[in-house]
Amino acid sequence: MEYRRLGRSGLQLSELSFGTWITFGNQIPYPTAKDLFVAAYDAGVNFFDNAEVYAHGESELVMGRILSEVGWSRDSYTVSSKVFFGAGGKLPTQRGLHRKHVVEACHQALERLRVDYLDLYFCHRPDKATPIEETVWTMHQLIMQGKILYWGTSEWSAEEIMDAQRVADQHHLIGPTMEQPQYNLLHREKMESEFLRLFERIGLGTTIWSPLASGILTNKYRDGLRDDFRLNRDELSWLKDRNVVDEKLAIAGRLADLASELGITPAQLSIAWCLKNPHVSTVMLGATRVDQLSENLKAAEAVALLTPEVMERIEGIVGNKPELAPY
């Protein structure tokens, strides 16, 4: 496993990491979750991602139970949580990025995860109802209290991240270290255009999610959605509607043919392509089986196969290279 710096910070994360959205506390039984965690750690993964909203807090409870049982040294791994949506509460004090919820959610995540501090703490979405100054000050204070080590954002625009950085600069506070955007062969705009100025100006790190575009890039949907596919679940209908379209399925099929030529799986090709971007700090993987995770972790070895010629062939297939954003 190779490790990359999280932006300009000194923290090094495994280039492939493990995320628990959808699966932990919801889709897979506890023994499988633990096996996946151990397999990832044994392969060199040192970053495990979570959020208050995942399975309404149950995902963090599962991760906390695993961490308490495996007994790994706390300095050998990093964990994250995210704040905004809440863990199921409906009251206005139970969601958002105002000081009360950000602090309460941090305390609750620490309790569920059974750790003394969060390595990474993300603002899961921007909050138009809370002044950005309040959120930045709160994150800075949590760092000063030793409850979190780094804070960042998830699915924020470049303008919103820069607003947070300006507040931090103005008041000599610690600004956002990382962003968690979606990034894959079908979704490229932020990472390859909109965020370029952030990489240059503030050295933003990224923990990218959905490298397989909700499974589309594995080419497993080429013959339709079986009843046991997760995109058939009611709560994920929005993902199905967005991704399971003929154009994307056709692209996935052509990429799968290229992967076959290279002697790798379509998933390995897609993950390796993400790793080719130097602005990616870590690619978060999800899995429901250990063999699936082990296969996808081999994507790091496939990066060397993506020569300039192969990268050009990929561009010819996807045909969606973003235009550079004006400065």
Residues tagged active-site: 54
Task: Classify residue 188 by its DSSP letter.
Answer: -
* Long-range contact set of residues 92-96: C-beta below 8 Å, sequence gap at least 24: 96/127, 96/129, 96/130
Q: Which amino acid is at 71?
A: G
Please count the other Cβ atoms lying within 10 Å of the Cβ belonging to residue 69.
12
47, 14 contact by CB (below 8 A): yes
Bridge partner residues of 207 (DSSP)? 282
Task: Classify residue 44 by its DSSP letter.
Answer: T
Q: What span, in angstroms and rounded, lies between the C-alpha atoms of 284 and 271?
A: 9
Structure tokens at 42: 């044994």
57, 44 contact by CB (below 8 A): no
**Angle at Cα 208 formed by Cα 119 and Cα 39, nearest 5°?**
70
Please count the other Cβ atoms lying within 10 Å of the Cβ belonging to residue 162.
18
Q: How many helices, marked H, and strands, marked E, lie in the chain?
A: 13, 10
Q: What span, in angstroms and rounded, lies between the C-alpha atoms of 195 and 203?
A: 10
Q: What span, in angstroms and rounded, lies between the C-alpha atoms of 47 and 119?
A: 9
Q: Which helix (H) or strand (E) holds 18?
A: strand 16-19
41, 69 contact by CB (below 8 A): no
Q: Which amino acid is at 159?
A: E
